Amino acid sequence: MNPRADNGAEGGTHAPRANSRTDGQMPEKRAKQVSAVALAATLALVTAVAAPACKREANFTEGRTFAGDVSVDAATLNDGHDAYMLYCYACHGEKGDGKGPSSYGLRPPPRDFTKGLFKFARVRAGDEMPNDEDLTRIVLGGLHGTAMLPWDITNKEVNAIIQYIKTLGPLTEDGVQEHKGSKWERKNKKGNFLKVLEPWQPEDDPWVGKAQTAIQRGKELYHLRAECMNCHPGYDTKEELYKMSVEAAKRDSSVFSPLKSFREDLSHSQAKKSDEYGVQIMPPDFTMDFVRSAHPESRIKDLYRVLSFGVYPIMPAWKGAGLSDSDIYAIAYYVKSLIDLRGTPAALELRQRMNQQKAFDIPKEEEPKPADPAPGTPTDAAGEKKEGDPAAADKKPEDAAKDAPKDAAKDAVRDAPKKEEPKK
C-alpha cells in the first residue's frame, strides 16, 4: 500500500505528477548514486556494530572472584563479554560506563556499571551488592518508562552477562579500563569481599480480599506516616489532607499526628539531586508516570519490595524502620490504586482538583490555659500572685493551705485603712 494514500483531503490517493515516472524505473546515473550511498551507509553500520564486538581485549584467560566470595570461570566471563557486546553495548557502552552510541538523548540515561550502584536491586547500603536473582529480574523484566526493555534471552546468557558486568571497574583519567578493581572485587578492611544480599521472597499479603480497607489505611500512611508526599505528590487538597491527619490522630495518636506544614508545590513531585548518579532524579507521579520495576502481573508484590528495601540511595527503606509488613503492604495497595488511575478521566479530575485548590493555612494551635493557683495562694484582684510576697514564694503548697486562715487575717490587718490621729 502506498504509505501516502491517506493524505488526500477526501481520503483518496494523490494523482501522479505530470513529469514523474510511472514505470518504476530510475535514470541510470541516479540509480548509481543511490546505490553508492546505500552501500556506504551499510558499511558504516556494519563497522559501527561489528568493530567493538571484534575486539578481544576483554577476553579472560583465568577466572575471577567477586563479592560474596563467588568464583566465576574464564569461559563464563568470555561468553558474558560476547553477549554483552551483542545486547548491551549500544546503550551501556563498551566499557560499561553508560556511554554507548545510543545513550545520547536517552532519559533516564543508561546505568553506569563501573560505579557498582544498582537502584532496583534491594540494596540498602554502600557495602552491599545485589543478588544475582535481583539482577536477573531486572534484565528479563526491564524497567518501565525507560529504554531498558525486557530481554528475551536464555538464562545462560543472562548469567554470563551478569558475571561479566562484575568485572567492569572504574576508568582511569585517560579512559583506560583494566578490568580489575571493580566494586564487586573490592575487599573491606578485614580482607573480606563485600556482602551479597540473600535471595528473598515476599511475606504473605495480609490484605487479600480486603483491598478497599488496605487502600484507606495506605492513604493515611502514605501522607502522614511514611511522608511519601515530601517527594511524590500529595493526592488531595491541603485542606482535606489536614482534616484526614486530625481524624487519624484522634483515632490513633501513637501512629499519627496532625500535619504542621506542607511543602510549597505539593501537587507535583520534587526533584532529588543525586551525587551518586550525577543527575537530578524525579520521583514518579503515580497517576501519570511509569513505575520502573513494578510489573502489572505482580504489581502489589513488586511495590511491596520497593517500599521495603527502598531505591538506593534516593528513597529510604521501610522494612524494619518504623513500618510493619502489614503497613508496607497497605501503602502498596494505595499506590497501586493511583497507578490504576493512569490514563483515566478520574486521574484528570483528581489532578484538576489538586491544581485548582484554594489557599489553605493550617490552623494555629490554641495556647494552653494557665493552671489555677493552689489553694491559699495570695492573689490580687486579677487573680495573679502578689509580687514580692515572701510567704507565697517560700511556702510549700501543703503548708500554704494549712496557714491560709492566718494569712488571710494578716492580710486584712495590713490592708485596713489607718486611722488619723486627732490634731492637738
Q: What is the DSSP string of 142-201?
A: --TTSS-------HHHHHHHHHHHTT-----TTS---S-S-GGG-B-TTS-BPEEPPP--
How far apart are alpha carbons 241 and 261 in whole angstroms? Answer: 11
- Residue 187: phi and psi, rounded to 5, are -120, 150
pLDDT in tens, 47-63: 444 444 444 554 899 99
How far apart are the C-alpha atoms of 169 and 183, rounded to whole Å?
Answer: 7
Distance CA 288, CA 338 (A): 9
Question: Given a cut of 90, is residue 265 above it in pLDDT?
Answer: yes
Name the pLDDT band for 408 (thresholds 50, 70, 90): low
| Contact yes or no for 74/63 (Cβ under 8 A) | yes
pLDDT exceeds cutoff 70 at 152: yes
Predicted confidence (pLDDT) per residue in 332-384, tens digit: 999 999 999 999 999 999 999 999 999 999 998 766 677 776 666 665 555 55
3-state secondary structure of 72: strand
pLDDT exceeds cutoff 80 at 278:
no
> Which helix or strand (DSSP H or E) is residue 241 part of?
helix 238-251
Strand 64-66 to strand 272-274: parallel, antiparallel, or no bridges (unpaired)? unpaired
Distance CA 181, CA 101 (A): 25
Question: What pTM was computed for the model?
Answer: 0.72
**Residue of 148, 66, 152 lying closest to 111 (CA atoms):** 148
DSSP H or E stretch at residue 415: helix 404-415
Q: What angle do CA 236, 232, 127 make, to 5 degrees?
A: 150
279-281/272-274 β-pairing: antiparallel
pLDDT in tens, 95-104: 999 999 999 9
| Dihedral pair phi/psi, residue 322, rounded to 5° | 115, -10
Among 221, 222, 229, 227, smallest CA distance to 252 is for 221
CA distance 85 to 87: 6
Task: Give Cα 43 to chain centroid, integer Å.
Answer: 44
Residue 275 pLDDT grade (very low, low, confident, very high; cuts 50, 70, 90): confident
Model confidence at 236: pLDDT above 60: yes
Start-to-end Cα distance in the chain: 138
Region of poorest pLDDT, from 157-171, 362-376, 379-393:
379-393
Q: Which of 111, 73, 116 is nearest to 93 (CA)?
A: 111
Mean pLDDT of the chain: 81
Output DSSP code: residue 69: T
Dihedrals φ, ψ of 272, to 5°? -115, 125
Q: Report which residue type is found at 119.
A: K
Cross-strand partners of 281: 272
- CATH architecture type of domain 49-196: Orthogonal Bundle (1.10)
User: What are the structural domain ranges in the chain?
Assistant: 49-196, 211-355
To the nearest 10 degrees (0 to 180), the angle between helices 299-309 and 325-339 is 120
